[in-house]
Amino acid sequence: MKTRLLTRIETNPDIMFGKPVIKGTRLPVEIILEKLAYGETEDQILKEYPFLKKEDIKAALLYAAKTLSLEEVVQT
């Protein structure tokens, strides 16, 4: 299921300067994450962006988690 969720995210240099977006849209993953961080519910986001599916929100969260897991921490 994880792999299938990540197929909902795309990066294309011709769309939003190559930022990760929900596939088939111009909605960046970061917008979804910010809205969740500021307390918006999944239902509020779906109402604001009626073209989204619940799986798109889950995909945005998974994409963020996977991206952070690749981050290298260097202690100084």
Convert the pLDDT of each residue in 6-64 to its tens digit. 999 999 999 999 999 999 999 999 999 999 999 999 999 999 999 999 999 999 999 99
* Closest CA relative to residue 63, chosen from 20, 18, 23: 20
Q: Is residue 42 included in any domain, yes or no?
A: yes
Domain span at residue 62 reads 2-66
Residue predicted with more confidence, 72 or 61: 61
Indicate yes or no: pTM above 0.85.
Answer: yes
Q: Outline where DSSP puts E strands in 1-76.
A: 9-10, 21-22
Residue 35 CA to residue 23 CA, distance in Å, equals 18
Please report which confidence band the pLDDT of residue 71 belongs to, taking 50, 70 and 90 as the band edges.
Answer: confident
Q: Is pLDDT at 4 greater than 60 in this prediction?
A: yes
In a domain, residue 72? The reply is no
In the prediction, which pLDDT does 75 show?
83
- Rounded Cα distance, 72 and 30, in Å: 20
User: Distance (Å, rounded) from C-alpha 55 to C-alpha 52?
Assistant: 8
Number of compact structural domains in the chain: 1
CATH of the domain at 32: 1.10.10.10
Tell whether 76 is covered by a domain: no
Domain assignment of residue 32, yes or no: yes
